[in-house]
């Protein structure tokens, strides 16, 4: 028990370092997020709860791979001075859907793995109803953003060659699909975990569902469109909290807080014994 608390505390401390680096746009320690997820993975693997050990371990392993892949690059100060740029091939920019998938696939995969493991016996009316309401709110936010952007684009059509209102609307619609899937899947997981009496883990899954909202605005922001299109309905965009010189990334920092806290609560809730432990099949 003490070792488990030590791992969770160390993971929370590393997560705090990572969030501070995101907030100031200057990583305090490049590997803070990697170590935080790694410690949570270690906590899952040493857990005495066989019903959640391997599912939780697999989910966190996926998140760890992405954390390693997105480790901040160390600052390189050797390239200061004059630089000459010549003509050359332009790198192909990823589509909005590809960008959205690159942001959402780790959390979405982790949530789906846990949902497969905990879906049996967890569906009850008193726990499913809040999940349905939450899913309706997330879908409603996506719909409001799409309608607002379409109205703005119709009023001010894009002037880029080869683009029209239909193409832009389709691009925005596909960009919101991955975060929308994440939000709905995370709410389904929260309902299933609550049905098993895993309320702490259920609150972590709920935080991962909330993560879909800022990710949705980020993915929409990758679609080229008129500057003010739909900005009045972008509640979770990067400019929702005014950046400052000392804190240039407040919204990304809050997004990191929600994500890492969600994983921490999932691990803390799934690595403890429960009165309804026997309700989950041993194969999960």
21-34 average pLDDT score: 93
Residue with tokens 């391997």, as numbered in its chain: 54
Task: Give mean pLDDT, residues 241-261.
Answer: 94
DSSP 52-105: HHHHHHHHHHHHHHHHHHTPPPPP--TT-S-------PPPPPPPHHHHHHHHHH
Asked if 201 and 193 touch (Cβ cutoff 8 Å), the reply is yes
Alpha-carbon torsion, ordered 112, 199, 61, 105, to 10 deg: 40
User: For residues 179 and 111, what is the distance between their CA atoms, to the nearest angstrom?
Assistant: 12
How is residue 236 annotated by DSSP?
T
Half-sphere exposure of 251 (CA within 13 A, CB side): 17
Both tokens assigned to 146 = 């799409």
At residue 46 the predicted structure's pLDDT band, cuts being 50, 70 and 90, is confident
pLDDT bucket at 225, cuts 50 / 70 / 90: confident
Q: What angle do CA 206, 177, 32 make, to 5 degrees?
A: 55
Share above pLDDT 70 across residues of the chain, in percent, rounded to a whole number: 83
- Give residue 214's pLDDT band: very low, low, confident or very high (50, 70, 90): very high
Q: CA-CA distances (angstroms) from residue 61 to 6, 57, 162, 278, 280?
A: 20, 6, 42, 26, 22
Residue 9, helix vs strand vs coil: helix
Full DSSP string of 200-235: HHHHHHHHHHHTHHHHHHHHHHTS---TTTTGGG-T
Helix 199-210 vs helix 212-221: crossing angle, to nearest 10: 20
Q: Sign of the C-alpha dihedral, residues 79, 80, 82, 88?
A: positive
Q: Which of 165-179, 221-235, 266-280 has the highest mean pLDDT?
A: 165-179
The 3-state DSSP class for residue 174 equals helix
**pTM for the model:** 0.87
Output the average pLDDT for the chain: 85
Helices then strands (H, E): number in the chain?
A: 10, 0
The DSSP code for 46 is T
Return the closest-CA partner of residue 180 out of 63, 101, 252.
101
pLDDT in tens, 48-101: 666 567 899 999 999 999 999 999 877 654 444 444 444 444 444 568 889 999
């Amino acid at each position: 028990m003490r070792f488990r608390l030590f791992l969770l505390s160390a993971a929370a401390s590393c997560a705090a370092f990572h969030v501070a680096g995101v907030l100031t746009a200057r990583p305090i320690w490049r590997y803070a997020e990697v170590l935080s997820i790694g410690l949570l993975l270690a906590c899952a693997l040493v857990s005495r709860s066989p019903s959640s050990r391997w599912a939780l371990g697999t989910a966190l392993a996926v998140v760890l791979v992405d954390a390693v892949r997105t480790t901040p690059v160390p600052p390189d100060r050797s390239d200061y001075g004059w630089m000459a740029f010549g003509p050359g091939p332009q790198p192909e920019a990823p589509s909005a859907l590809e960008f959205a998938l690159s942001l959402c696939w780790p959390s979405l995969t982790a949530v789906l793995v846990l949902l497969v493991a905990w879906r049996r016996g967890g569906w009850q009316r008193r726990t499913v109803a809040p999940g349905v309401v939450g899913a309706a709110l997330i879908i409603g936010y996506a719909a409001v953003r799409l309608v607002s952007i379409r109205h703005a684009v119709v009023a001010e059509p894009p002037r880029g060659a080869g683009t029209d209102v239909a193409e832009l609307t389709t691009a925005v619609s596909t960009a919101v699909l991955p975060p929308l899937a994440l939000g709905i899947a995370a709410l389904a997981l929260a309902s299933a975990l609550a049905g098993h009496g895993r309320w702490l883990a259920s609150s972590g899954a709920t935080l991962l569902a909330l993560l879909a909202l800022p990710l949705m605005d980020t993915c929409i922001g990758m679609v080229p469109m008129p500057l003010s299109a739909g900005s009045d309905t972008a509640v979770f965009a990067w400019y929702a909290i005014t950046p400052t010189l000392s804190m240039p990334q407040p919204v990304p920092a809050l997004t990191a807080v929600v994500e890492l806290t969600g994983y921490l609560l999932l691990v803390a809730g799934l690595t403890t014994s429960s009165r309804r432990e026997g309700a989950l099949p041993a194969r999960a």
